[in-house]
Structure 1
Amino acid sequence: MAVTNVERKIVRIGNSLGITLPQEVLDHLKVKQGDEIKLQLEKDGTVSFKRQKKLNYDALDGIDQDFLDGMQELFENYDQTLKNLVDR
């Protein structure tokens, strides 16, 4: 896949500052209005973001919602650590 550079200006959105994303970026991420994205702040000053994965809660009927949210957060925070353990 070819690398595409997209430039945006920081704009005021209400009382906040933000950026708008062009349709090509939304299509690439496969996101739409209301979806959540995850931002990752790197030590070198760069920021990356990706579509937030959603659990299919319907398939987990009967399991406490707080537990499911905690498990999702655990996997998001320790994803690379858990992947490294598989390789041992």
Structure 2
Amino acid sequence: MERKVMRYGNSFRIKMTDALKQIGLEQGDTVQMDVNQASGEIVIKKATKVTLPQNISTDFLDNLTEVISEYDETLKCMKDR
């Protein structure tokens, strides 16, 4: 699938409605985007919604996310031991 990048005000846009529908995205959905500058790839995934148990605060989840992001490579290495 090949598309042309167009200007939209101060932004760029790419029409990719068909591709987004193929992965189940609809208007209003939240996505996760990962950019790999080395390969020039952008990966777009539908974000998963997580419902926390009542006794877990959102602050805990935010802190956990920061730790996982900061020590991602270390955690991956530990997993394989």
TM-score range, shorter chain: 0.5 to 0.7
**TM-score normalised to structure 2 length:** 0.64
How is 1:1-88 mapped onto 2 (pairs within 5 angstroms)? 6-23=1-18, 25-34=19-28, 35-44=30-39, 46-57=40-51, 59-75=52-68, 78=72, 81-88=74-81
**Alignment CA distance shift 1:26-1:62 (3 Å):** same
- Structure 2 CA distance for aligned equivalents of residues 32 and 15 of structure 1: 24
Unaligned runs of 5+ in 2: none
Comparing both structures, which one devotes a greater share of its residues to strand? 2
SS of the residue 1:60 aligns to: coil
Root-mean-square deviation (CA), in Å?
2.7
What is the aligned length?
Answer: 79
The answer (yes or no) to whether the contact 1:29–1:50 under 8 Å persists in 2 is no
**Alignment CA distance shift 1:30-1:75 (3 Å):** farther
How far off its partner does 1:15 sit? 2.1
Unaligned runs of 5+ in 1: 1-5
**Alignment CA distance shift 1:69-1:17 (3 Å):** same
